[in-house]
Amino acid sequence: MNRTTRYSGWLHALVLTFFVTLSFSSIAQDGEKLFRANCASCHKLDKKVVGPALAGVQDRWESEEALIAWIQNSQQYLADHPEDSYAADLFAEYNNSIMPAMPISNEEVKAILGYIANPPAPPEPKDPVPGPEVASGKDYTMFWLLGFLVIFLVIIKVLMDVKTSVKRLLYDIKGEEVYRAAGEEVDFDLTGKEKLALWMNNNKVAVMLLMVVVLVGVLNVAWEGLIGVGVYDGYAPTQPIKFSHQIHAGDNGINCVYCHSSAEKGKHSGIPSVNVCMNCHKGINEGSRWGTEEISKIYEAAGFNPETGSYDKPGKPIKWVRIHNLPDHVYFNHSQHVVVGEIECQTCHGEVETFDYPMHQHAELTMGWCINCHRETEVKMGGNDYYDKIHAELVEKYKDQGLEKFTVSQIGGLECGKCHY
């Protein structure tokens, strides 16, 4: 065998080894995907959920062929093998709950069993990802001005004391007659109140300017307080259950309207009931951030017993703290904006999929904020029969300006009666 042939053989062996390794890796990966797609809603590897824990399942069956047949169609297996007492007892143990037939091949079942027998090591726990920094929404300008005013008054007091000390020294040196002959008043023996009155009398312009500054400052503080009533930009209350939008809407890609389903159907977006939470968490009893601590609170509210897999406890409401709240005299319809206006949730609520716990109010939601949005947002009239007539009328109305696209303000979005009635 020459050197070229020997190298060629080694090369083929390496290529074969690479593809075999790759195929095994692919099978293992497919096994995990298949398990999550077909089994994970009812089974976990290490604990009961709807069905039994699957760790060691191959050791509990007499043959792999019987297990594969059971997984593919348990009812057919029971009908074909009435003598299998283990299968019959397993079916009875879980209250004769029928496991649906699985449209998966023998190879796919073997891939799932391979994953169950050799699951990948759990990932290292990640450090909590902090949510976006929430601005306090406070303006400290007035406090700074008041601080400077206090410093200014202290400086005046110090200068007045220095002046008094100098006067006293001159009085001691020159004597009272000489001192008075120079036209100076002897005021260092006066009380503090008398000195202040004397200074104000001698500096009327400065006193008037100071009073104006103080008055403007007080009025500004009062105005800021009044216009801030009901404005909670950055409000982030503590909730009874720690819920991370970053994990649910971001990492797991859950659509907003899956939980807030009424946002497309009515005025309010609604807070999801605990039953919506249980759609997923009946099978997912451990979270990536807080483990079982927060999910156990969901179970308590739903009256769900994870040990028995049944609702055998009294339920109770979850007392969520409302974050976004408009005054009673304001009308806002979610479906009108979400469905007709095709406004994304993030427009008003921010990039919610990046918000960790606690959830916070992104925008100030004041009247000025809404009006600015109506002035800037283009109405999506294309392909919407509702707007055909309105669009034609607007084109005619603004033909001198040559406009073809229009904002909400041009279809009545600034009329008072649209939001207040």
State how far the Cα of 205 lies from the Cα of 213, in Å rounded to an integer.
Answer: 13
Q: Please, what's the b/e burial string for 63-100 (b: 16 or more CB within 10 A of its CB; e: otherwise)?
A: eeeebbbbbbbbeebbeeeeebeebeebbeeeeeeebe
| Contact between 356 and 129 (Cβ < 8 Å) | yes
Give me Rg for the CA atoms of the chain.
Answer: 38
* Nearest-angstrom CA–CA distance, 57 and 90: 12
The DSSP bridge partners found for residue 407 are 378
- CA 316, distance to chain mean position in Å, is 25
The pLDDT tens digits of the residues spanning 56-99 come to 888 888 888 888 888 888 888 888 888 888 888 888 887 777 77
CB 70 within 8 A of CB 78: no
pLDDT at 22: 43
Tokens 């976990």 correspond to 44
pLDDT at residue number 49: 65
CB count within 10 Å of CB 320 equals 14
250 contact partners, CB below 8 Å, separation of at least 6 = 353, 354
Closest CA to 240 of 284, 294, 302: 294
Number of neighbours of residue 202 by Cβ within 10 angstroms = 11
Report the C-alpha gap between 366 and 330 in whole angstroms: 10
Q: Please state the domain extents for the chain.
A: 3-117, 141-227, 366-421
DSSP 45-77: SSS-SSS---TTGGGGSS-HHHHHHHHH-HHHH
Dig out the tokens for 298 from the structure: 């969901």
281-310 tens-digit pLDDT: 888 888 888 888 999 999 999 999 888 888
Predicted pLDDT at 86: 85
Q: What SS3 class is residue 310?
A: strand
> What percentage of the chain has pLDDT greater than the value 90?
11
Partners of 287 in the β-ladder = 291
145: left (phi over 0), alpha (psi -120 to 50) or beta: alpha
Q: Cα-flanking dihedrals φ and ψ of residue 305, to 5°? A: -105, 105
How far apart CA 172 and CA 162 sit, in angstroms, is 15
What is the residue type of 19? F
Q: What pLDDT sits at residue 308?
A: 82
Per-residue confidence (pLDDT) for residue 226, from 0 to 100: 75
Distances in Å between the Cα of 335 and the Cα atoms of 264, 276, 350, 354 are 5, 20, 18, 24
CATH architecture of 3-117: Orthogonal Bundle (1.10)
Regarding pTM above 0.75, the answer is no
CA distances to 80, 263, 264, 267, 288 from 334, rounded to whole Å, are 56, 5, 7, 5, 32
Cβ atoms 115, 35 nearer than 8 A: yes
Q: Which DSSP category does 54 fall into?
A: -
Q: For the chain, list residues with pLDDT below 70.
A: 1-29, 41, 49-50, 121-142, 164, 167-192, 195, 228, 230
